Chains A and B, each alone.
Chain A
């Protein structure tokens, strides 16, 4: 599978839930420290990965997610605290369609609800999480219990009202939007937690990735101890994702520049595969929901790779 070269440093990648050949990539100039951002929409073609469209922003973009109800709608998380909404079908001058400007610091994570398809979440370095609907003028709700940057937010795939958040305050929190406060706080790691995701086949199982280099599996019914600890990354784990197709399969990417595939229930060696095609921090990762085994990654080395699980991304 071919490579796509981005102009800026890659931060986030997301497959379209509607079109198996389409993906979005959030990028930032100068490693996201200072400068502009660019939201790419890429298309997998027989001739390689091609740019369908791109949108430029004044500040870096750290994450993106697709609407689950409209195949042309995409949102980006911006360093200036805004959430930009793009419409691929609209003429260029109408984009961004909207810019939600409520967070006071960098927005670092976005996740669209796959059950109730009109709402999405944003997690920010202002320590808060906000719930949005494109139809509403402002955020529907703010969740402010974390004490440091929120790095990842993730909806539960089975329950429309439940989501998890990972924070630099070293806790994972579980939220039910019908409740006034978070319903569970797990002091999951001794160090900052950068990522979390829900198992797609067991709505009680959660995975977290931390600066402590480990990945931990949690069952929300017995949150005192992790079910499993996966060790193998040599620097902070930036993202973790459960496979949409295999209950035990987890993909992770890290500041150690590698991506790993894990079978968390394997009796012996849980690490199935390590990919080292990136040459800088590997910070963006996604698994296609439409094509079993199709993966995408992006990194600070200004590349986007899309490949089939069993193959070498560079071939």
Chain B
């Protein structure tokens, strides 16, 4: 930051004080002297269901509202917040038809025990919908619309496939950007790999690391605090027999996956391409929910705080290389927080494809030891509308485990049709 601006800021902070200690201005960075204000929006609970492979995994026979209800219930039940005190439930959801999903979410709230007085709505910003839902709730609390809200996300990819209904506007032939919105995501991944020189080996290495980290995380019990088991049924595809089960673990990660084993897979989207089923995110069922409120409200209720919601940014990029979104969104959100990238201690950067995730890490010079430390969507899966909220849960629980030294965390993802989103969280009391 410019020296004069920095001085202005330091002096100005003497006049409009914020409680809590500042962050060092050494180096060129002038970290935000955010401090903790009672008006801050904080996360007091964040939970997710297990992430299960679509059509084959543990939630394949579970209805979307039954996937969502357990996490909605968990955030109020585990904090002791009376469901009637919730001002709004905002749910990110991508693939399902809008009106039907809105209805299913409303029903899920009833299944979770919320009274009729608590409103529900959905939001769709493609792959960032779950994060957008959290950001929308934070913004509404800041605006004073209500004091407590739930930002959530759901995707049931077993029942809602990625598809296009109806015809395509013929005008796209005259508007290349519009036309590129129709590119299959895998093709945009190939474009990123080609345009920015991300090799097949780079991608397979990231994919293998994602699996290894997710396997290690489960082995060491790293996910236990954030995952809500789902009591459901599973249907035997051959006999049609139903049997009751409780799903409590992710089922996408595989032990022993190596770059060498991944190297054997064929490219899916392009002849001689580099994007394979092994280095792309998985198609997955899952839901997550995040309970947000004013810090003063959390203190009043005596609730421990998982993290402070600091900033959010959504940006647009070239649809043909939509995967670069985080490389633009992260700097925007981090700068809005008055921070620099190097101030961030932990990232959940969605692995839509290893190509784009690798590109974003390189472009921003991220330390791989700070990114997706418990694996990402390649191992755990990418239930589109859920992912943002899932990443918030994973990030904040991991930050808590890492202790006070892990102060700032970022959730980010690329977005189909060429966008990126990112949010900055701070660990504070």
Contacts and interface: CB of A to CB of B under 8 A. Distances in A.
Interface of A: 31-34, 79, 104-106, 125-127, 147-149, 168-171, 190-192, 194, 211-212, 235-236, 238, 255
14 contacts: A32-B11, A33-B8, A34-B3, A104-B27, A106-B7, A125-B10, A127-B24, A148-B33, A169-B21, A169-B22, A171-B21, A211-B13, A238-B14, A255-B14
A116 B23 CA distance: 34
A85 B18 CA distance: 36
A194 B20 contact: no
A212 B8 CA distance: 19
B30 to A, nearest CB: 10
B15 interface: yes
A147 B21 contact: yes
Given A190-B20, A211-B14, A125 B25 contact: yes
A192 B21 CA distance: 7
Interface of B: 3-4, 7-8, 10-11, 13-15, 17-27, 33
Contacts of B17: 191-192, 211-212, 236
Contacts of A34: 3-4, 7
Contact of B22 (A104, A105, A149, A255): A149
Given A125-B10, A148-B21, A149-B22, 15 more contacts: A32-B11, A33-B11, A34-B3, A106-B7, A125-B25, A126-B25, A148-B23, A149-B25, A168-B13, A168-B21, A168-B22, A170-B21, A171-B21, A191-B17, A192-B14
Nearest to A187: B21
Q: Which of B4, B8, B10 has the most CB of A within 10 A?
A: B10
A106 B25 CA distance: 10
A270 to B, nearest CB: 23
A149 B15 contact: no
Q: Which of B4, B8, B14, B22 has the most CB of A within 10 A?
A: B14
A194 B17 CA distance: 12
Nearest to A28: B7
Contact of A191 (B3, B10, B11, B19): B19
Contacts of A192: 13-14, 17, 21-22
A149 B15 CA distance: 16
Contacts of B21: 147-148, 168-171, 192
Contact of A147 (B3, B4, B11, B23): B23
Contacts of B24: 127, 147-148
A104 B14 contact: no
Contacts of B11: 31-33
Main secondary structure of the interface of B (DSSP, over half): loop
Main secondary structure of the interface of A (DSSP, over half): loop
Nearest to A62: B7
Q: Which of B3, B10, B21 has the most CB of A within 10 A?
A: B21
Given A192-B17, A211-B17, A104 B4 contact: no
A255 B15 contact: yes
Nearest to A128: B26
A227 B423 CA distance: 43
B7 A32 contact: yes
B24 to A, nearest CB: 5
B2 to A, nearest CB: 9
Nearest to A167: B21
Given A190-B19, A191-B19, A211-B17, A33 B25 contact: no
Contacts of A147: 21-24
B7 A149 contact: no
Nearest to B4: A34
B300 to A, nearest CB: 18
Contacts of A105: 25-26
Contacts of A169: 21-22
Nearest to A79: B7
A222 B24 CA distance: 29
B200 to A, nearest CB: 44
A272 B3 CA distance: 40
Nearest to A238: B14
Report, nearest first, the 10 A-B pairs whose CB atoms are least far apart: A148-B22, A169-B21, A34-B4, A211-B17, A236-B14, A190-B19, A170-B21, A168-B22, A191-B17, A126-B26
B239 to A, nearest CB: 64
A296 B5 CA distance: 30
A149 B10 CA distance: 9
Contacts of A168: 10, 13, 21-22, 33
B295 to A, nearest CB: 14
Contacts of A126: 25-26
B39 to A, nearest CB: 16
Nearest to B31: A148
Contacts of B25: 105, 125-126, 148-149
Contact of B7 (A33, A127, A194): A33
A34 B8 CA distance: 9
A236 B19 CA distance: 13
Nearest to A149: B10
Contacts of B8: 33
Contacts of A212: 17
Nearest to B5: A33
A105 B22 CA distance: 15
A207 to B, nearest CB: 18
B229 to A, nearest CB: 41
Given A34-B3, A170-B21, A235 B26 contact: no
Contacts of B22: 147-149, 168-169, 192
A105 B9 CA distance: 14
A135 to B, nearest CB: 28
B296 to A, nearest CB: 15
B26 to A, nearest CB: 5
Contacts of B27: 104
A33 B4 contact: yes
A32 B6 CA distance: 11
Nearest to B22: A148
A236 B16 CA distance: 9
Contacts of A236: 14-15, 17
A219 B189 CA distance: 64
Nearest to A59: B3
Contacts of B19: 190-191
